Amino acid sequence: MQIKPVLVALKKHRLATLLIALEIALACAVLCNAVFMIASRLSAMQLVSGVDESSLGFIQLGGFDPKSAHDLNARVVAGLGAIPGVQAVRVINSVPFGPAAGAFGVTLDQAGKQFRGVPELYLGAPGTPEALGLKLVAGRMPGAEDYQTVLEGYLPANSNVLVTRVFAEHLWPGEDALGKTFWTGRNQFRVIGVVAQLSVQQYDEEGERGAQWTVFVPVQPGPQLAGTYLVRADPRELDRVMVDARTALAKIAPDAVVDHQQSDTLPALRTRFFQADRALTGMLVGVIVSLLGVTALGIVGLASFWVAQRRKQIGIRRAIGATRGDILRYFQTENFLIVTFGIALGMLLAFVLNALLMKFYELPHLPLYYLPLGAIALWVLGQLAVLGPALRAARVPPVVATRTA
Amino acid sequence: MGTGTDFINTRVDMFGYYLDLAWRSLRHHQVLAALMVLAIALGIGASVTMLAVLHNLSGNPLPGRSGVLFHPQVDPRPAKLSGADVEPPDDLTYIDAVNLYQLGIAPRRAVMSSNWLPVRADAPDSPLAMYTDRATTADFFAMFGVPFLYGAAWSAQDDASHAQVVVLSRAMNQKLFGGGNSVGRTLVIATKTFRVAGVIDDWNPQPRFYDVNGGAFGKPEQMYLPFFAWLDLPQDYGYGPMNCWGNDPNAGTHDPRVQQCTWAQFWVQLDTPAQAADYRAALVQYSAQQHQLGRFQRDPDVRLRGLLDWLDYKRVIPVTVRMQTWIAFGVLLICLVNTVGLMVAKFLRKSGEIGVRRALGASRRDVFAQCLIEAGVVGLAGGLLGLPLAWLGLWMVRQQPVSFAASAHFDPSMLGVALLLAVLSSLLAGVWPAWRASRVAPALQVKSL
């Protein structure tokens, strides 16, 4: 197929060509950025919590008298533990995707000079790391002697803690974290074990805290740690166990109120946590579909119009020897050229749009490989849209040449 | 057609004639016309959806009162605080809240905060449940124009005497007392007995300007308690979101009266610009005095924003809404570019017809007007089809798990906006194609017929 005659013909319709190319350019820019945003939402939703989510549930009680904390904890742990199918009940301050329970600025020195960010702390009673299903990669799990009673405030003065691999690497890049210490205010932490993963409770991508910036502090339950429980059960029985647990709590703890919002299985808490991301993804898919639809309709409309306008010329070409395939390929080539102009302009626009989004909405850089992907999508769309009108053009009989328009 | 009236009549007649022509032309090219209408409808549907959301989110929460309500801020933070915002904190420390509350030069003022508390009806075996509350002072209700169903607000005397009285929302009154006049009945709130002083009607200003800590588009509190009696409650359910500085991260979690935590909101009513100026001077004087006492380390740095300025400063409209509005207008733009392309094609298709009209004496202006009216008709049709799409779009926003979902409703004023936007944008899209059509040389076209 020769390109030159197509170009010459397009020159006669500069304006319409330019407009379709512009539309494709805009569609290209939006398509690349929207797909990129969808991809980043989907990858955010892959957040690894590091715990056995499908086996775990969380219970939060409120409204009880802190003076009765010891008694309440004992009643709940015993009462929930008696529900058939429950494998473990542990007092814990929160769980991944649960309520934000405590973030503390930490420093590497007691004087508080070497500030190293604000991780989230998990506080849990004996057996909690095992019930969560944390995977140890170095050191040891806390032993019975590591679970201390907190006499004042929220934390023991000195504790032996677990940190995640990511947070250990953040505190001491390239070094072995075991045995090292860090501080929050007057409280000292000593690392006894490193776990593979344990994600924060409410991860905020725009915040400074990394998704795995967590510390597990072993403590004995008490007034500072009460009313929030981890329940472990077989994944197949978890839903039923959590329903039973909420019912049972009315009898076990009549002096407290179950927070139905927060008391749920971890899979349910996870689903809720990513609800907004899913909604945004759905909206972006809608935008992409409608944009591509409008663009395709525009191509169909204009190509149909051109075919109708050129019936006589097509007839003449057919009469002097062009095959149907020649006519078909003519319109396909024409569309390919227009879409290519559009894509060339669209790549520039995609970067401008990405720069604007980065400036105002703190979006990351658009990776380069999105551009060829967007280009291929638009080429395919263009060819599909032009196929109908082009086939109609190919069916124009040579005899048209002999008639007056 | 000598007189001016005739001329106008002719113009009106011509307008009608052009409308008729436009209608015939569109019916003649049904597929092209349908594509154009569909494209405009889609663009209008998307952009009007987001305009409606934006319009509802950026409304005035208290029309008629917003002009006299002010939000005072002072800066009690240490002189050196790394990474700190240059603006003073939004909320006040307990000490500043009480001091400013007692300053008493504003006609009305209210200090407030919020949390949630366990409540049970004052009867044996009634179930305990958590309710959200706003702890505030007497002027809150009059200052913000809160409507009462039964009873009335508590008095300043009640504030001073730490009286255990409560004002219920209509919904909570429905739940606890079946919706009747419950004034004088009692409740147990966090182990203490409170007497119902009043029940308010549904009241939920959006954005919820007086406390934007938990987002500005949430649900209203379920009950209102006197601030100082609330502070006396024995148990610790937090004191609203606290913002603390200094070395001890535990500070404030149990004692709201510490120096280094801000958590109380404060609003004043100032009826005249003179009062506002006096109040600002008083804030500066207060800061200077606290500086002398050694409490404030910084030089006086005060703010006294009006309600609407405050909302502006807090940028309460969620980022996602602004982003989605841009996306919606991007869709409209692409739909319009699409329409321009189709219109160029369509008008040029009519070159022969236009040539005849030109040869018969129509001026370029006449042809231009005719084409533009056709574009306008397309726009109007697109707008009419876009309205149900916008309605659908708003329904979809309401299904989203976002706090502002409830404010995504169709405002009648949006009807006009949608049609106007549709017609204007299609006219804009039609200008260039119409101009091109009006350049058609009569002779050439007539010859080719």
CB count within 10 Å of CB A331 equals 23
| Residue corresponding to tokens 């009765």 | A68
- Do A297 and A386 form a contact (C-beta atoms < 8 A)? no
Give yes or no for residue B6 having a pLDDT over 70.
Answer: no
Verify whether the Cβ–Cβ distance A301 to B248 is below 8 Å. Answer: no
- Strand A214-218 relative to strand B303-306: parallel, antiparallel, unpaired? unpaired
CA distance B160 to chain A (A): 27
- Do A332 and A11 form a contact (C-beta atoms < 8 A)? no
B235 pLDDT band, cuts 50/70/90, is: low
Q: Which of these three, A230, A249, A273, is where a domain ends? A: A273
User: What residues contact A161, with CB distance under 8 A and at least 6 apart?
Assistant: A142, A189, A190, A191, A192, A215, A216, A217, A218
Q: Does residue A85 sit in the same domain as residue A165? A: yes
Most B-contacting residue of A294, A304, A338, A392 (CB-CB within 10 A), to test interface: A294
User: What residues contact B293, with CB distance under 8 A and at least 6 apart?
Assistant: none
A-chain residues near B401 (CB < 8 A): 272, 275-276, 279
What percent of chain B has pLDDT above 90?
A: 40
Q: How far apart are CA B402 and CA B268, in angstroms?
A: 31
Give yes or no for residue B8 having a pLDDT over 80.
Answer: no
Residue A72: predicted pLDDT: 93
The tens digit of pLDDT for each residue in A215-252 reads: 999 999 988 899 999 999 999 999 999 999 999 998 89
Q: Which two tokens stand for residue B391?
A: 């309605």
Mean pLDDT over A42-63 rounds to 92
B-chain residues near A404 (CB < 8 A): none
Give yes or no for residue B400 having a pLDDT over 90.
Answer: no
Give yes or no for residue A405 having a pLDDT over 70.
Answer: no
Buried b (16+ CB within 10 A) or exposed e, B368-381: bbbbbbbbbbbbbb
B12 versus B127: the higher-pLDDT residue is B127
Residue B1: predicted pLDDT: 41
Residue B9: predicted pLDDT: 62
Question: Highest mean pLDDT range out of B156-160, B318-322, B411-415?
Answer: B156-160
Q: Which two tokens stand for residue B202?
A: 């549904």
CB count within 10 Å of CB A206 equals 7
- Do B220 and B208 form a contact (C-beta atoms < 8 A)? yes
Q: Does residue A111 sit in the same domain as residue A183? A: yes
The tens digit of pLDDT for each residue in B322-358 reads: 878 888 888 888 888 888 888 887 887 777 888 888 8
Mean pLDDT over A169-195 rounds to 93
B-chain residues near A119 (CB < 8 A): none
Give yes or no for residue B403 having a pLDDT over 60.
Answer: yes
Q: Does residue A328 sit in the same domain as residue A385? A: yes
What percent of chain B has pLDDT above 70?
A: 92
- Sequence-ordered alpha helix ranges (H) in B29-93: 30-57
- Do B349 and A305 form a contact (C-beta atoms < 8 A)? yes
Q: Does residue A164 sit in the same domain as residue A313? A: no
- Into how many domains does chain A fold? 2
Of A27, A257, A283, the CB nearest to B118: A257
Q: How far apart are CA A261 and CA B218, in angstroms?
A: 16
Q: How far apart are CA B271 and CA B278, in angstroms?
A: 11
Q: Which two tokens stand for residue A136?
A: 């140890």
Angle of helix B30-57 relative to helix B412-438, nearest 10 degrees, comes to 140
Give the C-alpha distances (Å, rounded to integers) separating A83 from A53, A76, A93, A245, B128: 20, 11, 22, 7, 24
Residue A229: predicted pLDDT: 96
Residue A77: predicted pLDDT: 95
Verify whether the Cβ–Cβ distance B118 to A276 is below 8 Å. Answer: no
Q: Does residue A331 sit in the same domain as residue A397? A: yes
Q: Does residue A288 sit in the same domain as residue A374? A: yes
Long-range contacts of B177-182 (CB under 8 A, 24+ apart): B177/B121, B181/B150, B181/B151, B182/B150
What SS3 state is found at B268?
strand
B-chain residues near A301 (CB < 8 A): 31-32, 35-36, 341-342, 345
B-chain residues near A184 (CB < 8 A): 249
Give yes or no for residue B262 having a pLDDT over 80.
Answer: yes
Residue B2: predicted pLDDT: 46
Q: Which neighbouring-strand residues pair with B165?
A: B195
Q: Does residue A206 sit in the same domain as residue A285? A: no
Residue B32: predicted pLDDT: 79
A139-148, B266-275, B404-413: which range is least confident on average? B404-413
Q: State the Cα angle at B218 between B253 and B64, rounded to 5°.
A: 110
- Do A328 and A337 form a contact (C-beta atoms < 8 A)? no
CA distance A154 to chain B (A): 8
What does pLDDT average to over chain B?
Answer: 86
Q: How far apart are CA B72 and CA B103, in angstroms?
A: 12
Query: What are the phi and psi torsion angles at A56 (to 5°)?
Result: -115, 145
A76 pLDDT band, cuts 50/70/90, is: very high
CB count within 10 Å of CB B188 equals 16
Verify whether the Cβ–Cβ distance B128 to A105 is below 8 Å. Answer: no
Mean pLDDT over A133-142 rounds to 95
Q: Which of these three, A273, A303, A320, is where a domain ends? A: A273
The tens digit of pLDDT for each residue in A5-17 reads: 888 888 877 777 8
Rg of chain B, C-alpha, whole Å: 31
Q: Does residue A324 sit in the same domain as residue A219? A: no
B-chain residues near A360 (CB < 8 A): 323
Q: What is this structure's pTM?
A: 0.73
Q: Which two tokens stand for residue B198?
A: 């009043």
ipTM over 0.90: no
Q: Does residue A394 sit in the same domain as residue A362? A: yes
Region of A227 (left: φ > 0; alpha: ψ -120 to 50; beta: rest) is: left
Q: Which two tokens stand for residue A352?
A: 């401008």
Residue A180: predicted pLDDT: 94
Residue type, B127: P
Of B36, B42, B250, the CB nearest to A154: B250
- Strand B129-136 relative to strand B223-226: parallel, antiparallel, unpaired? parallel
Please give the residue range of the domain that contains residue A206. 53-273
The tens digit of pLDDT for each residue in A261-307 reads: 889 999 999 999 998 888 888 888 988 898 888 889 888 888 888 88
Which secondary structure element, helix H or strand E, spans residue B193, and what is its range? strand B192-200
Most A-contacting residue of B116, B119, B130 (CB-CB within 10 A), to test interface: B130
DSSP 8-state secondary structure symbol assigned to residue B254:
S
Q: Which of these three, A273, A296, A319, is where a domain ends? A: A273
Buried b (16+ CB within 10 A) or exposed e, B403-413: ebbebbebeee
Q: How far apart are CA B132 and CA B240, in angstroms?
A: 11
Q: Does residue A57 sit in the same domain as residue A40? A: no
Chain centroid, CA B199 distance in Å: 27
Residue A217: predicted pLDDT: 95
Q: Does residue A224 sit in the same domain as residue A327? A: no
B254 versus B102: the higher-pLDDT residue is B102
Tallying the residues shown for chain A, one arrives at 405
Give yes or no for residue B123 having a pLDDT over 80.
Answer: no
CB count within 10 Å of CB B337 equals 26
Q: Does residue A195 sit in the same domain as residue A229? A: yes
Give the C-alpha distances (Å, rounded to integers) separating A22 from A15, A63, A387, B1, B375: 10, 61, 21, 47, 20
